[in-house]
């Protein structure tokens, strides 16, 4: 029932995030009003996020493929709502946590979406913050393959706007919104619904940056300093690696260039967070 392979290596940052957040959700939160930036409200916002997404699911949908299912939070909620859901992700460690956190009650497929092979056809492909990890052509082609005629894609993610083309900012992620919509149309998917939830998710960035400054950054600095003091040979090797990868070798530079979160100001200027409901042509 559960994954017991001791060779599976934990994803340290994922484990750290799950310990800090205290939830089974890997998505941003859907905030309302002027809520205080604290852990309790962050957890409530994450719960509200999946509840909001579920409202977009058409009444005739029964079977759902949760692409990029993480550790099972969304899949478990979908199952509680009565949907026949299957999780899919390429990470063995996520598979282990998914099985543990869903009690083994939800099927899990260890595969990338583009490499997934199945005779089963689904009513919906569900993508919560997994759009940006799959090339457009491959994602829409595979969705067309695994969906029934008239099936749906429900996607929720953040995208770059046109004013960001040519902007070379290291911490500016994801695909261009205009390109995504053009690909959907090219592959025969009709856009039925669209909602911009950028303002609702923005507090997640403020909260994330606050947690980074208060907890994650001091923790990383303490770890690096401990290596420098107690295991100098490891410290030297690690600094050599980072100096090769990035400019600068100071602790501050390592943290700044590798783990700093997306700034709210960048998001507001160059990005939008959108929910889309598409329908596959019959």
Q: Give the per-residue pLDDT at 88.
A: 98
Q: How does the average pLDDT of the chain come out, rounded?
A: 85
DSSP letter string over 196-253? E-HHHHHHHHHHHHHHIIIIIHHHHHHHHHHHHHH-HHHHHHHHHHHHHHSS--SHHH
Q: Give the per-residue pLDDT at 240.
A: 53
* Alpha carbon distances (Å) from 216 to 22, 210, 212, 256: 15, 9, 5, 12
Cβ contacts of 87 within 8 Å, gap of 6 or more:
66, 69, 72, 75, 98, 102, 106, 107, 108, 109
132 found inside a domain: yes
Residue 161, pLDDT > 70, answer yes
pLDDT confidence bin for 242, thresholds 50/70/90: very low
At 77, which helix (H) or strand (E)? helix 73-80
pLDDT in tens, 228-239: 665 666 555 555
* Alpha carbon distances (Å) from 38 to 5, 197, 207, 263, 272: 36, 20, 7, 18, 24
Task: Please state the domain count of the chain.
Answer: 1
258 found inside a domain: no
2 found inside a domain: no
Min mean pLDDT across 70-84, 153-167, 193-207, 225-239 is at 225-239
Domain that holds residue 30: 12-201+264-280
Rounded to whole angstroms, the Cα distance separating 26 from 138 reads: 23
Q: Give the per-residue pLDDT at 194.
A: 98
Q: Give the per-residue pLDDT at 51.
A: 98
pLDDT in tens, 4-57: 444 667 676 778 778 878 899 999 999 998 899 999 999 999 999 999 999 999
227 found inside a domain: no
Q: Give the per-residue pLDDT at 1.
A: 35
Q: Give the per-residue pLDDT at 60.
A: 96
Cβ contacts of 150 within 8 Å, gap of 6 or more:
279, 280, 282
95 found inside a domain: yes
Contact 118, 146 (CB under 8 A): yes
pLDDT confidence bin for 249, thresholds 50/70/90: very low
Task: Please give the span between the terminal C-alpha atoms of the chain, in angstroms, as a whole number.
Answer: 38
Rounded to whole angstroms, the Cα distance separating 172 from 267 reads: 8
Contact 95, 106 (CB under 8 A): no
Residue 253, pLDDT > 70, answer no
Percent of the chain with pLDDT over 70: 78
As a whole number of Å, the CA-based R_g of the chain is: 20
CA atoms within 13 A on the CB side of 8: 14
Other CB atoms within 10 A of residue 203 CB: 23
251 found inside a domain: no
170 found inside a domain: yes
pLDDT in tens, 69-103: 999 999 999 999 999 999 999 999 999 999 999 99
Burial of 238: CB neighbours in 10 Å, binned 0-12, 13-18, 19+: middle
We report the CATH number of the domain holding residue 34 as: 3.40.50.150
248 found inside a domain: no
Pairing mode, strands 84-89 and 108-110:
parallel
């Amino acid at each position: 029932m559960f994954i017991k392979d001791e060779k599976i290596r934990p994803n340290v940052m994922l484990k750290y995030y799950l310990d800090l957040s205290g939830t089974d959700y890997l998505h941003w939160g859907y905030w309302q009003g002027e809520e205080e930036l604290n852990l309790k409200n962050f957890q409530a916002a994450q719960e509200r996020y999946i509840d909001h997404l579920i409202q977009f699911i058409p009444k005739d949908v029964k079977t759902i493929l949760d692409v990029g299912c993480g550790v099972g939070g969304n899949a478990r909620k979908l199952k509680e709502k009565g949907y026949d859901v299957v999780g899919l992700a390429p990470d063995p460690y996520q598979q282990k946590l998914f099985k543990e956190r869903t009690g083994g009650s939800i099927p899990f497929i260890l595969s990338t979406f583009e490499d997934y092979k199945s005779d089963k056809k689904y009513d919906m492909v569900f993508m919560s913050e997994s759009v940006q990890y799959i090339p457009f052509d491959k994602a829409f082609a595979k969705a067309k393959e695994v969906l029934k005629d008239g099936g749906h894609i429900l996607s929720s993610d953040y995208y770059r706007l046109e004013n960001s083309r040519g902007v070379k900012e290291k911490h500016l992620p994801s695909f261009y919104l205009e390109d995504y919509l053009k690909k959907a149309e090219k592959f025969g998917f009709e856009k039925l619904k669209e909602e911009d939830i950028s303002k609702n998710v923005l507090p997640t960035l403020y909260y994330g940056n606050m947690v980074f400054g208060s907890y994650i950054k001091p923790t990383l600095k303490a770890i690096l300093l401990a290596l420098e003091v107690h295991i100098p040979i490891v410290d030297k090797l690690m600094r050599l690696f980072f100096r090769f990868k990035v400019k600068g070798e100071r602790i501050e530079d390592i943290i700044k260039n590798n783990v700093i979160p997306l700034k709210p100001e960048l998001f507001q200027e160059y990005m939008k967070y959108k929910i889309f409901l598409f329908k596959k042509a019959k």
